[in-house]
Amino acid sequence: MAKSYTSAVIEASAEQVWQVVRDFDGLPRWHAAIEGSEIEGGGVADAVGCVRHLTLADGGVVRERLVSLDDAERSYTYDFVESPFPVRSYRSTIRVAPITDTGHSFVEWYSHWDADAADEEKMDKTFAHGVYRTGLNGLREFLAQ
């Protein structure tokens, strides 16, 4: 299995960051690559098993199922149900931890996935930079407002 990983320091408390990140339906608020999000079936965004339907800025669609939500650890994990990416067995986690020395947050976003060897380098770059880095930069900007 391949792994893609990105982390960032955000100058806001872990509680503030988690309030934004925790909303499984809230990516369009802070991620530039996400045009829209809807929880399928009208469910709630914090119900394990719910599926979010994301519309990407390029018109693509990604459907993701919430696998776990842990408020104590400030993390959630999700799987792809459907995506335009040539990967299999994709599972991703985003986690927010306090930096006790400064009162800021350490946010990490990572995934484990399978792909054909010819696609691995491109998919790692897509996830680590195009999705996670873009998202964490957007989260930083959103929280600085």
Round to whole Å and give the CA distance between 78 and 111.
Answer: 9
Model pLDDT for residues 88-117, shown as the tens digit of each residue: 999 999 999 999 999 999 999 999 999 999
10-residue block means of pLDDT along the chain (145 residues)? 97 98 97 96 95 95 98 98 95 98 98 97 96 98 94
CA 140 to chain CA centroid, Å, is: 14
Place of tokens 């809807």: 38
What confidence score (pLDDT) does residue 145 get? 87
Angstrom distances, CA of residue 75 to CA of 55, 92, 97 = 23, 10, 9
What confidence score (pLDDT) does residue 32 get? 95
Q: Which residues contact 2 (CB under 8 A, 6 or more apart)?
A: 112, 113, 114, 115, 120, 123, 124
Q: What pTM was computed for the model?
A: 0.95
